[in-house]
Structure 1
Amino acid sequence: MKFLLATVLALPSVLGDGIQFSRTIDTIADDSSLLLKIDSGCSSSDDHGSNDCSFAWGDEVSGSVDLSLGHDLGEGSTFSVNMKVDSIVPFAFSCPVCGANCTTTVPIVNQDVNFAMPPCPVSALDLSTPFDYALPADSPTKGVKVSAKGTLGVKDAAGDTVLSGDLTVTVQ
C-alpha cells in the first residue's frame, strides 16, 4: 500500500505541471479497510477517504493512510498494476507482496525499478501512516499533459481479492 501511494504522489516529479487523480475501490476484503485522508486539494470523499484530488506544482500534500489488514498475507500473495499511459502505452506488472524483489520497467523512460519486499508473512495489522510530500516547484516536462488510467489490486496466496480498484492520474 505504501508503495502504491508513493507511486501516485511521485508521478508529478516525473511527468508534469500538476496532478489530478481519482480512484474507486471496487473490492476490499471483509476483514480489512483502507482510508486515505488528504488534508486539502480534494473535492469529494467516500467510505475510503479523499477523492477527486488536484495539486499544483509546489503544493504540500499531507494527510494519512489508515489501513487495517485482517489476515496475514503469505508467500504467493501478489499486488498488480495494470494501467495505460495516454490510453496507448501499457504499464502493467505483478509483484509478490512479500519474500522477494519487485522488478518492473517504467515505460517511456525505460527506467528499471527493483526493490525488496518485506519478509513473509505480512502480518495482519492496523496501521495509521501520516505523509507529508512537497511537490517540486516547477514542472520537469514543461507542461506536457500525460494521463494514466487502470487498475490496482492485491490478492492473497489463495487468490482471493484483498483490494481492487481503479485509478486515473493526469499530470500537466
Structure 2
Amino acid sequence: MIENIQKYVNKKMEECIINFKKNLSKIRTGRASSDILNGIFIEYYGNKTELKKVANITLENSQTLKVTPFENSIQKLIEKKIISSNLGLNPISKGNTILVKIPFLTEDRRKELVKIIKSDGEKVRISIRNIRRDAKDKIKKLLNEKVITKDKDYLFQSELQTKTNFFIKKIDTILKNKELELMKF
C-alpha cells in the first residue's frame, strides 16, 4: 500500500517538473529555438495538428527559424497561426519556406519574463506541496485504520519530506538556469 503511494508521489512530482520545463521552453530568450513554436496547432484535413507535424522547423541562424511546410497549400495558414500565437513573431514568406525572425529582448521585457517564470515556479512548488499533502493524508488514514504502524508512518513522512525537498531544489535550479539564460545579452 505504501509502495503505491510512493510510486504515485514520484510520478506526480516528475510530471510537475516535466510540465514546468515544457512551459519554460516556450518562453523565448532572444535566441531562436524550435521549441518556441511548440503549442501552435494547424487545422489540417479537419484535425487540429501540431505545427511540427505538418512542417519541418530548423534553425536558419541564431536569430531565425526556418519553417518548411510539407504541403505548400498550408503555408499561408501557418503564417497566420504564428502571427496569432501571441509570441510577438512576424513570419516572412520566402519561396516555399517561412522565415521567423526572433527579435532581441529589451531589458524591461527580460525582467518581466523573469517575474513570469518565478511566478510559474511558485505554482509548481505549490503543486509539489499539494502532492505531499495528499500523500500525508493517505498515510494518516492508513495509520488511523491501523494498517501501518507509527514507525512506518514516521519513516514514510521523513522520506516524503526528503523527496519534496529534492523536487523543490530541482525547481529552483531550473529557474536559476532559465533566469541566467534570459538575462544574458
Tell me which interval the TM-score lies in, with the shorter structure as reference length: under 0.3
Q: Which has the larger radius of gyration?
A: 2
The higher relative CO (CA closer than 8 Å, separation ≥ 6) is in 1
TM-score (norm 2): 0.22
As a proportion of its length, which structure holds more helix? Answer: 2
As a proportion of its length, which structure holds more strand? Answer: 1
TM-score (norm 1): 0.23
